[in-house]
Structure formats: C-alpha cells, structure tokens
Amino acid sequence: MKLFYGQIFPEVKINEEEQQHMLKVLRMKDGESISITDGLGNVATGTLRIEGKKVFLNADKIEENLPDFSPKLHIAIAPTKNIDRTEFFLEKAVEMGISEITFLLTEKSERKNLNFERFQKQAVAASKQSLRFHFPKINNLTKLSDFMESISSENIFVAHCHDNLERISLKEVRTENDHITFLIGPEGDFSEREIQLLADKGIKAISLGNQRLRTETAGIFVAAWNYYVQIK
C-alpha cells in the first residue's frame, strides 16, 4: 500500500505537500494505485489522476472508522538534550501505535525549546510509513505542574529510578483499560520533590526493570510493551 495524507470528508483531497512530493520526488504517474488517510481512522483507495501540477484520487473505495490500538497509550516525556534521541523515540513510538505524546518541562530538563512543527511532520511521516490510519496527537512542551493540573490519577504511572521510593512492577499494570498514561523524566530523572507531588496526586510509580534506561530508551520500551500487549 502506498499511503498518503489528505482529507476524506466531505470530499477526498490530497494534502498540498503530499502532492508536490508525489510529483517532484516520487515522480508518480497517472493510474498508480494509492490510498489516502485523514489520520482519523478513514481511508480512501483508488487510482492517481494528475492534471498539470495538481494530483487527485479517483476513489474506488472509502473505509470509515477503522479500528485503532487499544488500550490507547499516552507518553509524557522530557525531551533529551540531544534532540536526535527524542526524534528517534518519537518515530519508533509512533510506529508501535502510541496515541499521544506530551513533551514535559521538568526541574532537571536541559532542553527548554522544541521545533514543534518538525515533530508533527515526523509523526505524520512515521504514521504513513507504518500504515497507521489513526495519527497520534503531539503536544508541545508543557510544564510538569501544568500537565498535572490537566490530568486525573486514573490509569497514570510515573517511571523513575529512585530505589528508595516505592515502585510497582510493570507487570502489575492492568491493560484492560481503554487508555494508559506513562510519565518519563529527563536525563537525571524526576526530582524526589516532583515524584512526591505526583504521588500526592495518586499517581503510582513503576519500575521498568533492573537496568537504568536512557530517557528515550524508556519511552521506546513502554511503547514496545504496549504494542506487545496489543498483538499477543
């Protein structure tokens, strides 16, 4: 399947940037079979029609409300100082079905700004590459205190490396719920004060094993764990 991004309703339209990519980079031809998704669970399939610098889809079939991953996974993670590592996490997490990513600003965060538009484009690209019809929601850099005010404690867990603070095993996390949220700290981890604030809100702490994982590795590990839950 050659999957591209666009609009399905009220009519099928291919995204302008996608049109240029098809013509100038992929050099696609009339009559090629392609699919268009709006990232909301809808897909149109048909053949390509090129008229000058415009590209259209002659749709043979439209599928609506295709199933998404369940449970939905939301990872709130502090971006790394080396932004390439955060981009690697984003790409792999999207490929494995993550539903939402929030970037956190914490006490020990070294990176305090992001190219948010670039992250959004990378999420769309990774979604298309992995043939996802539900694109994840990407949230810009948010202070941990503001994030805490916007959430409840239901099905939310914080991963940290403080051995002297109580943590449960990842095996104890129930996956029958329709959504799960994990918080992952920066290089240097969440501060004990932040962890206590989360605990006061009723958010449980978890351990991701005996090894100390890098921030982006912890995020990919949680995404892979949730993906495995979906397919086992």
Q: Where are the domains of the chain?
A: 3-63, 72-231
What is residue 12's predicted lDDT score, i.e. its pLDDT? 97
**Is the distance from CB of 126 to CB of 95 less than 8 angstroms?**
yes
d(CA 75, CA 98): 8
What is residue 215's predicted lDDT score, i.e. its pLDDT? 96
Side chain identity at residue 10, one-letter code: P
pLDDT-wise least confident of 66-75, 130-139, 153-162: 153-162
pLDDT-wise least confident of 128-137, 158-167, 186-195: 158-167
pLDDT of residue 46 exceeding 90:
yes
User: How large is the average pLDDT for residues 184-205?
Assistant: 91
What is residue 154's predicted lDDT score, i.e. its pLDDT? 84
User: How large is the average pLDDT for residues 118-137?
Assistant: 97
**Is the distance from CB of 4 to CB of 38 less than 8 angstroms?**
no
Pick the CATH number of 72-231 from 3.70.10.10, 1.20.120.330, 3.40.1280.10, 3.40.50.300: 3.40.1280.10
DSSP string, 166-228: --EEGGGS---SSEEEEEE--TT---HHHHHHHHHTTPEEEE--SS---HHHHHHHHHHHHHH
Q: Could you tell me which of 3, 61, 4, 50 has the C-alpha nearest to residue 27? A: 50
Kind and range of the H or E run holding 54: strand 54-63
pLDDT of residue 30 exceeding 70:
yes
pLDDT of residue 187 exceeding 80:
yes
Kind and range of the H or E run holding 5: strand 3-7
pLDDT-wise least confident of 3-7, 94-98, 122-126, 152-156: 152-156
pLDDT-wise least confident of 9-23, 134-148, 151-165, 189-203: 151-165
DSSP string, 62-103: EE-S----SSEEEEEEPPPSSHHHHHHHHHHHHHTT--EEEE
Q: Could you tell me which of 97, 131, 138 has the C-alpha nearest to residue 115? A: 138
Supply the mean pLDDT for the chain: 93
Of residues 94 and 211, more confidently modeled: 94
**Is the distance from CB of 99 to CB of 68 less than 8 angstroms?**
yes
Of residues 142 and 202, more confidently modeled: 142
pLDDT of residue 164 exceeding 70:
no
Kindly state the percentage of the chain with pLDDT values over 70.
99
Give the per-residue SS3 of 134-152. Answer: ECCEEEEEEEHHHHHHCCC
DSSP 3-state of 111: coil
What is residue 142's predicted lDDT score, i.e. its pLDDT? 97
Q: Tell which CATH architecture fits domain 3-63.
A: Beta Barrel (2.40)
β-partners of residue 168 are 206
pTM for this model (two decimals): 0.93
What is residue 15's predicted lDDT score, i.e. its pLDDT? 97
Residue with tokens 């409840």: 152
User: How large is the average pLDDT for residues 82-87?
Assistant: 97
β-strands 33-37, 43-51 pairing: antiparallel
pLDDT tens string 175-186: 777 899 999 999
